[in-house]
């Protein structure tokens, strides 16, 4: 998994599917450098991980999920946390994952992600 699991851990948490997920200092630095709108918004990244509105599976790697949480209802802005899991148990909540990146978007339809699967009843 390369850089995704290197460096000290910022947080180890459980995602909305029941998987253990790790965010390292290296990955948080990557997120803040590449997506400066998320500087100081680690709580929103954690919300996307811990209590997402839903998720999407990558169209190119079934072990990569994008967990999404609405961060601004008026503008429909979403925080999307992208996690790579160790095995196919990720949708069943039996895997361990490492945050690759996170970013904000208002676009719900993107070619790299599959259908949105809601976690809300």
pLDDT at 1: 43
For the entire predicted model, the pTM comes to: 0.89
Model confidence over 37-52: pLDDT tens digits?
999 999 999 999 999 9
Model confidence over 54-108: pLDDT tens digits?
999 999 999 999 999 988 776 778 999 999 999 998 989 999 999 999 999 987 6
Q: How far apart are CA 54 and CA 78, in angstroms?
A: 11
Order of strands across the sheet that contains 96-105 = 9-14, 20-24, 96-105, 77-85, 64-72, 54-57, 117-118
Q: How far apart are CA 95 and CA 20, in angstroms?
A: 7
HSE-CB for 114 with a 13 A CA cutoff: 14
Model confidence over 5-38: pLDDT tens digits?
667 888 999 999 999 999 999 999 999 999 999 9
pLDDT at 110: 73
């Amino acid at each position: 998994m390369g850089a995704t699991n290197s460096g000290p851990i910022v947080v180890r948490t459980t995602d909305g599917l029941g998987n253990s997920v790790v965010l390292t200092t290296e990955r948080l630095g990557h997120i803040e450098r590449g997506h400066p709108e998320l500087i100081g918004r680690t709580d929103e990244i954690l919300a996307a991980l811990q209590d997402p509105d839903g998720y999407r599976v990558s169209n190119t790697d079934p072990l990569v999920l994008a967990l999404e949480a609405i961060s601004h209802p008026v503008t429909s802005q979403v925080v999307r946390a992208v996690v790579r899991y160790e095995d196919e148990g990720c949708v069943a909540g039996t895997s361990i994952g490492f945050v690759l990146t996170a970013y904000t978007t208002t676009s719900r339809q993107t070619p790299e992600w599959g259908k949105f699967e809601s976690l809300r009843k």
